[in-house]
Structure 1
Amino acid sequence: MYINSKWRILTVGDGDLSFSASLVKHHKPRALTATVFDTRSTLIAKYGSDEHYQQLLKNGANVLTSFDVTEPSTWQNIILQQFDLVIFQFPLIPGFSSKQDYIKQCEHFSINTLNRRLLRIYLQHCFKYFLADNGAKLAYISSKDVKPYRQWNIEHSLTMNLPVMYLGKMAFNITEFPGYRIRNVDRDKHVKDTQGFTYVYSDNQTLPAEDIQLATFVDDKVFSKLALLNNDNHCAICRTGLLLNELDKKLHFSSKKHLQMQQYEQQWHYYLSQESL
């Protein structure tokens, strides 16, 4: 993950705050505001202490609890449009509190769509409210490259019909953030460190001169890959290719994997159609 020490950074939904604590200690950004969805009392109850909360305050960071990136009413203590970069580490919608809650939330949309919705709203709010017009104007999403996360089609689906571009991805190396523990969204368990990527978004087509180094970290072949995936011999939603002949295509497009991804994409397009109403 590329971090410029001149940047003003906002972290979103940072579990036990260990990522933010490591970020401020080892990468020393110009300014850091760290946020968690939980209240401070829940943070202590869930993780046994608020040591990272205290560390961040000692290092001059701003820390906000009860912060929901999808709900502006929870943002009372944040100054808007002051950040260069917003980071969302390994996002996942919270578990359902009851069977009734599950039925209510999944009445029209699957969990796949609900997670995409969370990330889309995150990106919308980043560029509308959090990022400064005179800054780097970057949003990061780190996510695991395994199911169900890779089924969200993070590269292609989130920015549909938005003035936001997907710029590429960087391998996420947890060793760059000593002390960071990826937490389960609902419990205090440490999540296994499987391969992940940090996906990069911006609404600015040209990087500021001082941030051009970012381009060396982001996959510079992303646009050529997208061009390949959009031809008849590849499947963009499954990130699959090369389909060499008609038999390859028939086998792939009738496979369980493709049919499931097709259902996810159809439902996502239905959600987007409702979003615009």
Structure 2
Amino acid sequence: MGQIISYLCKWRYPRTYKSNYETIVSQQDNNESKPPEQHCIINISDQNETEKQEAVDQAEKDYHKLDDDDDHGNEQIVVEDAVQVEVVVENNVSTTTNTTISNSNRIPSEISSVKRIGQYNSTQKILLVGDGDFSFSASLALAFGDSALNITATSFDSQEFLMNNYGKFFGNKAHLQARGSKVLHDVNANKMAKHPILINYLYDRVIFNFPHAGRFTHTDSNLQKHQKLIRGFLRNAKKMIEDDGEIHITSKCNGFYLKWDIPKLGSDLGLHLFQEMKFKRGKYPGYNTKYGFGGDKNFDCNPSKTYMFRLL
């Protein structure tokens, strides 16, 4: 028997979010009749292993072609379509899997679900820089669950320093490692592109929340130190992202912090600031904004923004 591919229909489902993070599911209004499910049948029972894989790959390509004429408008919107794929592996034996197809080429072709928290999802390769007590990284990992292999969390300080200063560090690190996330210490944001481990990877998102040079008086000299830190981070991060990757810097956006002029620092390095978004800590359960130079106190992060850059 040859390969039989039958796409019965193609539907888009609205997404609703019941909490800060959850698995994407397809839903229909209770007052509307349920449309037919998207279904793909692939019969590969009489093919060898190479031919079987080629059949599945071709089915995926054919499905993508259905979207060629779609105009999704705003490039910030990522639309996922769920399709049920039935693969006939042997006579009278089939397996069914849910496949998510997206108009974003960063999403893998076959995953059971996409998990989100805030503006991040479990299909993105994420590098977190200077993450204090690792509570932000842990928040993402807990949201992604067994899909947290995509996270690499780093700190500027040593593990010993973090254990001595942050009461919840060890628990946060355990959450990350239990879910397969990478955890690295002694990573300098201004030199990370040459780090012996990080140099081997490219990322979809590189994130630095509340960078600070450890100078608290509002002098011109200290302003230059803060800007030097951010400039060095951006210079390294742009070497570490995919062609369609993004660099996110979250910083307070009032008073002295506005003088840092993060948008200009990015522009001077050939980066495109495509969005500024108000940062809401509450979207990331468990995240604590710790001072990065000892002590276990939280600082007030309001008001703050996330500046999002892309390569030109």
Q: Under TM normalisation by the shorter chain, which class is it? A: 0.5 to 0.7
SS at match of 2:309: strand
Is the alpha carbon distance of 1:72 and 1:33 closer, same or farther for their aligned partners in structure 2, counting shifts above 3 Å? closer
Is the alpha carbon distance of 1:83 and 1:116 closer, same or farther for their aligned partners in structure 2, counting shifts above 3 Å? same
Aligned length: 190
Deviation at 1:76, TM superposition (A): 2.0
CA distance in 2, matches of 1:80, 1:195: 36
Say if 2:161 is the partner of 1:55: no
Is the alpha carbon distance of 1:83 and 1:73 closer, same or farther for their aligned partners in structure 2, counting shifts above 3 Å? closer
Q: Is the 8 A contact 2:158 2:185 kept in 1?
A: yes
What is aligned with 1:114? 225
Q: Is the 8 A contact 2:149 2:179 kept in 1?
A: no
SS at match of 1:182: coil
What is aligned with 2:191? 71
Q: Is the 8 A contact 1:66 1:74 kept in 2?
A: no
What is aligned with 1:190? 298
Say if 2:147 is the partner of 1:37: no
> Residue 89 of structure 1 is aligned with which of 209, 219, 240?
209
The structure showing larger relative contact order (alpha-carbon pairs under 8 Å, at least 6 residues apart) is: 1
> Residue 260 of structure 2 is aligned with which of 152, 161, 175?
152
Q: Residues 177-208 of structure 1, C-alpha deviation per residue, up to 9 Å, x if partnerless?
A: 0000001121221112412111000014xxxx
Q: CA RMSD in A?
A: 2.3
SS at match of 1:84: strand
CA distance in 1, matches of 2:251, 2:242: 25
Q: Quick check: which one's strand share is greater?
A: 2
CA distance in 2, matches of 1:186, 1:147: 22
Say if 2:288 is the partner of 1:181: yes
Task: Name the TM-score, length of structure 1 as normaliser.
Answer: 0.63
Q: Residues 7-40 of structure 1, C-alpha deviation per residue, up to 9 Å, x if partnerless?
A: 1000000000000000121255660000001110
Q: Is the 8 A contact 1:93 1:185 kept in 2?
A: no
Uncovered stretches (5+) of structure 2, i.e. residues with no partner? 1-117
CA distance in 1, matches of 2:274, 2:301: 24
SS at match of 1:159: helix
Deviation at 1:81, TM superposition (A): 3.8
Is the alpha carbon distance of 1:137 and 1:119 closer, same or farther for their aligned partners in structure 2, counting shifts above 3 Å? same
164-173 or 35-44: which moved more? 164-173
Is the alpha carbon distance of 1:74 and 1:64 closer, same or farther for their aligned partners in structure 2, counting shifts above 3 Å? farther
Is the alpha carbon distance of 1:9 and 1:163 closer, same or farther for their aligned partners in structure 2, counting shifts above 3 Å? same
CA distance in 2, matches of 1:40, 1:74: 20
- Opposite residue 208 of structure 2, the aligned amino acid is F
Uncovered stretches (5+) of structure 1, i.e. residues with no partner? 97-101, 205-277
Larger radius of gyration: 2
Task: Name the TM-score, length of structure 2 as normaliser.
Answer: 0.56
What is aligned with 1:142? 250
**Percent identical residues:** 31
Q: Where do 1:118-137 residues align within 5 Å?
A: 118-128=229-239, 130-133=240-243, 136-137=244-245
Q: Is the 8 A contact 1:64 1:77 kept in 2?
A: no
